[in-house]
Structure 1
Amino acid sequence: MPYYLYDFVLKFGFLIVFIPSLLVIINAVLSAKAMGGPLGRGLKKIAAGTIAHTILFAVYFLLQQGNRGLLNAGEIKLFFLSVGTFGAVLLFLGYLDIYKVAKKLRLFTL
């Protein structure tokens, strides 16, 4: 694959992933402000987890472009591992809060 095509596909892929993530963040934050209680807390956790993963994706994109900064490879791996785990835990806890609300309201057919 020629380099100019690879560069275009990479930038296009970045936009395809980044724009929906940004919309999810905005939607979750606005919904969380409008709602209170466990549902609002769950939406805030989901928004925070999505923000963490969006930051990881942006950092990965910058690293792909050749920006290394002051961190060595081990520190970058630790950053990705810790922020990825933190974001995943927040997403899990947010969905768990929403599940508890749905279970309390008996929204499941099982």
Structure 2
Amino acid sequence: MQGTFFSVWAPNAAEVSVIGDFNGWKAGKDPLTARSDGSGIWEGFVPELGHGTLYKYHIRSRYRDYRVEKGGIRSPASGRFRRRPRPSSGISPTPGVTGRGCAAGKR
């Protein structure tokens, strides 16, 4: 299945989801799941997303219901980012890598 595996460290989060043009920038449509090992890492797979897709993480804190959108950071997984009008990261393929841990692989 084509898509993208997402993983983010958010140890104080109550909820984390991936938002972007693909879901109307709506939190909760593509939720991530916290690992059961207590590491604070949230992860999940969003089908049909690939190279060039812009995204951010929507994080709701377990403290006072604080909400924030995180993106616009260049990382090995994103490869590119956009600053304005909506800062976000972009998915880039990892040459020769597919599957879990790949920014735009097959699963």
TM-score, structure 2 as length reference: 0.21
Q: Tell which structure's C-alpha radius of gyration is larger.
A: 1
Q: Judging by fraction of residues, say which structure has more helix.
A: 1
Q: Judging by fraction of residues, say which structure has more strand.
A: 2
